[in-house]
């Protein structure tokens, strides 16, 4: 029903219902909202520097300054294939996920912002939002709750880069002995979102995160009691005690951006073929897995790469 209005010019009299047969008296113009120019730019929409997604460019700048030494000197991050990340338009970045407190998300977000000067919105577990301070900070730094609607709007309407880890907490919660073995890529929801939004998926293989905070043991029972995804005992805790919660091991980070995957389907469909979605998701998972094996074959040392 809304389509019929879309094409009409925004004038007052055109939109009077036909059966009313109103004479346009001076009064009636006051009653119908007079079409006004759309408020232009951000100045009408916000007052501070926090955008509609809760991201603050000012705090992001602070985070970049504080985090950069970590990025450059602790993890000594190296990229290859950065040219595969689109310079404009939406794209869904998909990577393998690791470390008890994920170290890969900040590396990817910081790296892309530093190298390409493009903001990256990171989708993450909703539960973060419920934690005082941390939830707010996380959102100011560009974190967004992983809801399909959020991903779609960021990709399609706002044409942003969005980072997602389809393995979710299954990736970060895995034991050290399972390192670099990718879990199931969710239910392929990320493929469906990319199809719907009409954007490519850019896979990234990350080497190094697994060794930055490896889990040596975990307690499923405790996790169940606390209602959290996992309660880990990390190598960092064994080495540094409680401080191990905050200190990463200085593993060398290498990231390889794989060629983007374009889906040849019309956007904004109600549904996409389930089998096609699952196939594409599995295909992307395999490509990241192969890239990981390839990179691990070339790696001489965990610490120096």
Q: List interacting residues with other proteins (CB under 8 A).
A: 1-2, 5-6, 8, 10, 15-17, 20-23, 25, 27-28, 30-36, 38-39, 44-48, 50, 52-54, 126-127, 129-136, 144-145, 147-150, 153
Closer by beta carbon to other proteins, 34 or else 243: 34
Least Å distance between CB 4 and other proteins?
Answer: 9
Least Å distance between CB 166 and other proteins?
Answer: 18
Closer by beta carbon to other proteins, 49 or else 178: 49
Least Å distance between CB 292 and other proteins?
Answer: 31
Rounded Cα distance between 102 and 229, Å, is 13
Closer by beta carbon to other proteins, 83 or else 157: 157
Closer by beta carbon to other proteins, 31 or else 301: 31
Least Å distance between CB 133 and other proteins?
Answer: 4
Q: Which two tokens stand for residue 32?
A: 């119908």
Least Å distance between CB 90 and other proteins?
Answer: 16
Closer by beta carbon to other proteins, 60 or else 218: 60
DSSP collapsed to 3 states, the chain = CCHHHHCCCCCCHHHCCHHHCCCCCHHHHHHCCCCCCCCCCHHHCCCCCECCCCCEHHHHHHHHHHHHHHHHHHCCCEEECHHHCCCCCCEEEEECCCCCCCCHHHHHHHHHHHHHCCCEEEEECHHHHHCCCHHHHHHHCCEEECCHHHHHHHHHHCCCEEEECCCCHHHHCCCHHHCCCCCCCCCCHHHHHHHHHCCCEEEEEEECHHHHCCEEEECHHHHHHHCCCCCEEEHHHHHHHHHHHCCCCCCCCEEEECCCECCCCCCCCCCCCHHHHHHHHHHHHHHHHHHHHHHHHHCCCCCCC
Least Å distance between CB 149 and other proteins?
Answer: 4
Closer by beta carbon to other proteins, 27 or else 275: 27
CB 235 within 8 A of CB 249: yes
Closer by beta carbon to other proteins, 136 or else 289: 136
Closer by beta carbon to other proteins, 38 or else 264: 38
Least Å distance between CB 159 and other proteins?
Answer: 16
Least Å distance between CB 137 and other proteins?
Answer: 9
Q: Which two tokens stand for residue 110?
A: 């910081």
Rounded Cα distance between 254 and 75, Å, is 9
């Amino acid at each position: 029903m809304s389509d019929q209005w879309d094409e009409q010019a925004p004038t007052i009299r055109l939109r009077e219902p036909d059966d009313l047969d109103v004479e346009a008296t001076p009064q009636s113009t006051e009653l119908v909202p007079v079409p006004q120019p759309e408020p232009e730019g951000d100045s009408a929409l916000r007052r501070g520097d926090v955008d509609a997604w809760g991201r603050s460019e000012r705090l992001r700048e602070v985070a970049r300054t504080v985090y950069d030494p970590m990025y450059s000197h602790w993890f000594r991050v190296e990229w290859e294939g950065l040219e595969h990340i689109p310079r404009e338009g939406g794209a869904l970045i998909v990577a393998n996920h690791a470390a008890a407190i994920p170290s890969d998300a900040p590396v990817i977000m910081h790296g892309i912002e530093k190298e390409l000067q493009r903001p990256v919105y990171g989708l993450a577990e909703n539960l973060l939002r419920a934690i005082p301070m941390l939830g707010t900070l996380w959102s100011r730094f560009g974190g967004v709750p992983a809801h399909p609607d959020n991903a779609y709007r960021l990709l399609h309407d706002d044409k942003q880069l969005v980072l997602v880890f389809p393995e979710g907490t299954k990736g970060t919660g895995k034991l050290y002995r399972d390192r670099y073995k990718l879990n199931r890529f969710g239910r392929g929801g990320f493929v469906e979102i990319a199809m719907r939004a009409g954007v490519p998926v850019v896979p990234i293989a990350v080497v190094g995160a697994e060794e930055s905070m490896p889990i040596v043991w975990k307690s499923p029972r405790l996790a169940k009691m606390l209602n959290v995804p996992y309660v880990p005992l990390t190598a960092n805790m064994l080495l540094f005690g409680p401080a191990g919660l905050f200190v990463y091991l200085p593993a060398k980070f290498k990231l390889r951006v794989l060629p983007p995957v374009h889906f040849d389907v019309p956007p904004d469909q109600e549904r996409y073929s389930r089998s096609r979605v699952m196939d594409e998701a599995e295909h992307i998972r395999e490509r990241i897995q192969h890239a990981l094996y390839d990179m691990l074959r070339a790696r001489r040392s965990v610490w120096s790469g």
